[in-house]
Each structure stands twice: as structure tokens, then as C-alpha cells.
Amino acid sequence: MCWLVDGNFIYFHGMNYWLIKSEPFKYSWEQFVKDGQTFWDGVRNYAARNHLRTMKKGDLVFWYHSNEGTEIVGIAKVIKEAYQDPTTTEEAWVAVDFKPHKKLKKPVTLVQIKADKRLANMALVRLGRLSVQPVTDAEWAIVMEMAGEKP
């Protein structure tokens, strides 16, 4: 999120960035592309849930393969904001819908991310177990650069 202050004007700019983890052997990027869209459900962790709730339509989300691959492979886009998780009747939990936005030219590995001092504070490094996490504008730009993507 970014608030721009310009003279007498304060206006809201742009979108939030996120990262979600998917175990490719359960649900891979390739399968996601094949499906055309997916709903992200089954999250049972409050921190992750709070991030899902904050997501807005149009936000971009790094798709990270955990366990196997351990790399960011693509970008998803939020197409439906948080709603009751259909896999439970407990009201605490939500689901969010994504569609594939684009595959990264070059996947960015966890090893590369850990090796870059500028990314030392990234949640992916600091909070290893968090499955839905925010990505700052700066972190997003650095990862995109590593992926060989134009800003």
C-alpha cells in the first residue's frame, strides 16, 4: 500500500502485493494455469487469514512453490475478495479467488532471495512458516528485477 502526498492532495495509490505458498505436489502453478482460476481456501492460521482479508481485487500475488522447487514461479491476481471459506462453517475462515496473471521469465529461488541483503526483512525469509504474507513495493521490485521482468 502506498499513500502519496502531493501538495494539498493526499490520494491512494495502487495496490498491495502479496506472496502465497503452494506445495506443487498438491497444487502447482501449472495446474493453476490449466484451471484458469482457483479459490484459496483451507487457511487455518490467523496471521495468514488476516492477510487474505486485506487483499483487494486486482492485487498481485507471487506464487511460491514450497517443499519442492522453493522458488517464486509466477504472479496471480486477486479476482474475488475474501468470503466465507466453503470448506468450513466456522466464520473465522475465509477464501479468496485468484487467476493466473503471468509466469515469471526466470523463477526466483529462495536461495537467491536469502543471498540478497536487500531482502533480509522479507517475510519469506523471516517468517518461514507463514503461508500468506505481504510483500512491500520495494521487495516486489527487487524480485521482479531478479526474475528478468521489466518494472
Binding-site ranges for DNA (CB under 7 A): 21, 23, 45-47, 66-67, 70, 110-111, 114, 126-131
Cβ 64 to DNA shortest distance, Å:
7
Nearer to DNA, 15 or 70 (CB): 70
Nearer to DNA, 15 or 116 (CB): 116
DSSP for 67-131, please give it. TTT-EEEEEEEEEEEEEE-TT-S-TT-EEEEEEEEEEEEEEEEHHHHHH-GGGTT-HHHHSTT-S
Cβ 49 to DNA shortest distance, Å:
8
Other C-beta atoms lying within 10 Å of the C-beta of residue 49:
18
Cβ 21 to DNA shortest distance, Å:
4
Cβ 13 to DNA shortest distance, Å:
30
3-state secondary structure of 25: coil
Nearer to DNA, 15 or 112 (CB): 112
Hey, CA dihedral for 86, 91, 93, 99, is it positive or negative? positive
Nearer to DNA, 106 or 114 (CB): 114
